[in-house]
Amino acid sequence: MTDRGRQHDGARVLVIDDDRSMCELVQVSLAKRGHRVEWRNRGDEGLQLLQEQDVDVVLVDVRLKDESGLAVCERVVANWPDTPVIVITAFGSMETAVAAIRVGAYDFITKPIDMGLLGHAIHRAVQHRDLREEVRRLRRTVDRRAGEQLVGDSPAIQEVCDLVARVNESDSTVLISGESGTGKELVARAIHETSERRGGPFVAVNCAAMPQTLLESELFGHVRGAFTDAKRSRDGLFVQASKGTLLLDEIGEMPLEMQPTLLRALEERTVRPIGGVGEVPFDTRIIAATNRDLESDVEAGRFREDLFYRINVVPIHIPPLRSRGNDILLLAQYFLELNRERTGKQVVGFASAAAQRLLDYDWPGNVRELQNCVERALTLTRFDTIIVEDLPEKIRSYRSSRLVIFGDDPEQLLSLEEVERRYINRVLDALGGNKTQAARILGLDRRTLYRKLERYEKV
């Protein structure tokens, strides 16, 4: 498939109609839209051309002199299943429409033909064809990548993969940032499992999941009798992860009072257990992860500046799913393959309409939300492909809020303030909410950006 944003103004169209003047009229009209049109007056001649040339869309009249247009449609669908067929008839009854759909027609148009409607129908048909090709390509890609951890072809995720490959030979501290659900722990595991420390343990701790006293004991350990329940000495995670990797997840949530102790441990490469008097060395690779804008937290006094610079040696930003383009379908197919054995269903992929809904949706929960969506759809589907009705209602009914600058519809024209609001939000979305980077790109100082966000009720 070409890029998701390809403009389908150069489709190769085959018209099969026994009315020569109609063929010529359609040819002239579609040529003005940039399409390349061939036409034939007989069904067998049209089928012969399909054997000789690649065609994007077939338009066929229901009534032909040599045979039924529905029979021609059925043969096209059987022999060229990826080529959508639009059936044209002067007898626009419901029965004819149903019969056309039953033999596999993609769409149905009545005479006299509205050339504007025909142009839109061809655009949708080529999109449908491209999506089917993309789903098959993604299925092949998933097969090739079975067992790999980071799935995606987009430039944004390829940059992440490149950084992972470049840091795995060192022990430098890495700070992974990104929205919740983007796969920060997955990236941390990829760093560990491609490094020389892969033979050691990978240990992850959520700094937001426990109170300060418990977190301090978990990280640094304690000696027997240090507190009421300390019936025996216990090594902390810094020591337990020796020869391996320790992930400090959600480090932005670590209590401010505890941050100096963490900074000292990172600088000295030793920890002092709670209640202990001596230092215990550790040999552990440290990776930190956060969904917060730590630079903003430093300015606001919520995070120590010296600790920020200590953990931000190699920054890796995980892009939100909505900015990863066709990775959405690649990941969806990956999760489908991952869960198919568990359900026992022989589901092979996604119908093109369902794939389009996945591409259109904004994915506020990122990869985690997509994984849940695919698992749900796989559980509910009754067919060998996932259809629109199998998707959650919020995805089925989602309407994109993409910014429209050009257009003739007065309902779509926006005030300058609304254009600014949407564009600021779009930049923030693309940067995973990082206000420091957003201000830099927008050419604003941070205080001005904050004032605008407050006015737009973004924060």
pLDDT along the chain (459 residues), means of 10: 44 89 89 89 90 90 84 89 85 72 84 84 82 64 48 86 87 93 92 91 93 89 76 88 96 94 95 88 96 91 95 93 88 87 82 89 92 93 90 85 51 69 78 78 83 68
Per-residue model confidence (pLDDT) at position 238: 96
Which residue, of 118, 142, 166, is where some domain finishes?
Answer: 142
Whether residues 390 and 443 fall in one domain: no
Give the CA distances from residue 264 to residues 74, 204, 211, 229, 272, in Å, rounded to whole numbers and listed in that order: 74, 20, 20, 26, 10
Strands (E), 178-261: 202-206, 221-222, 234-235, 245-249
Boundary of a domain, candidates 368, 396, 424: 396
d(CA 237, CA 244): 11
Nearest 5°: the CA angle 335, 126, 145 is: 25
The span from the first CA to the last CA of the chain, in angstroms, equals 39
How many angstroms separate the CA atoms of 378 and 334, rounded?
12
Q: 121 lies in a domain?
A: yes
Its domain, for residue 258, covers 155-317
DSSP β-bridge partners for residue 85: 58
Backbone angles phi, psi at 16, to 5 degrees: -120, 105
* Residues 6 or more apart in contact with residue 108 via CB below 8 angstroms: 86, 87, 89, 92, 96, 97, 100, 101
User: Mapping DSSP to helix (H, G, I), strand (E, B) and coil, where does residue 27 land?
Assistant: helix
Dihedrals phi, psi of 436, to nearest 5 degrees: -65, -50
Question: CA-CA distances (angstroms) from residue 168 to 116, 163, 184, 190, 269?
Answer: 56, 9, 16, 9, 20
Please report, to the nearest 10 degrees, the dihedral formed by the alpha carbons of residues 359, 363, 368, 374 taken in order: -40
In this structure, the answer to whether residues 187 and 306 fall within a common structural domain is yes
- What six digits make up the tokens of 70? 């529905």
**pLDDT for residue 341:** 75
How far, CA to CA in Å, does 215 sit from each of 56, 205, 220? 61, 9, 8
Closest by CA to 57, choosing from 10, 101, 97, is 10
Please tell me what DSSP assigns to residue 144: H
What sign does the CA torsion over 161, 163, 165, 171 have? Answer: negative
Tell me, what CATH number does 104's domain have? 3.40.50.2300
Can you give the length of the chain in residues?
Answer: 459
Does residue 7 form part of some domain? Answer: no
- Residue-level pLDDT at 372: 94
Number of domains in the chain: 4
Determine the Cα–Cα distance for residues 295 and 235; give it in Å rounded to an integer: 32
Give the pLDDT score at 142. Answer: 47
Residue 295: other Cβ atoms inside 10 A: 18
As given in the structure block, the two tokens for residue 305 are 């500046």
Q: What is the CATH number of the domain that holds 276?
A: 3.40.50.300
Q: What is the 3-class SS of 249-274, one letter each residue?
A: ECHHHCCHHHHHHHHHHHHHCEECCE
Helices (H), 282-347: 294-299, 305-311, 327-343
Residue 111 lies in a domain: yes
Amino acid occupying residue 31: A
Within-domain flag for 401? no
With beta carbons less than 8 A apart as the criterion, state whether 308 and 294 touch: yes
**31 and 117 fall within a common domain:** yes
Rg (CA), the chain: 29
Q: What are phi and psi of 285, to 5 degrees?
A: -80, 130
- The CATH number of whichever domain residue 346 belongs to comes to 1.10.8.60
Edge-to-edge strand list for the sheet holding 314-317: 202-206, 245-249, 285-290, 174-177, 314-317
296, 317, 338 - which closes a domain: 317
pTM equals 0.61
In a domain, 1, yes or no: no
Q: In this structure, are residues 331 and 370 in contact, taking their beta carbons and an 8 Å threshold?
A: yes
Q: 190 and 215, same structural domain?
A: yes
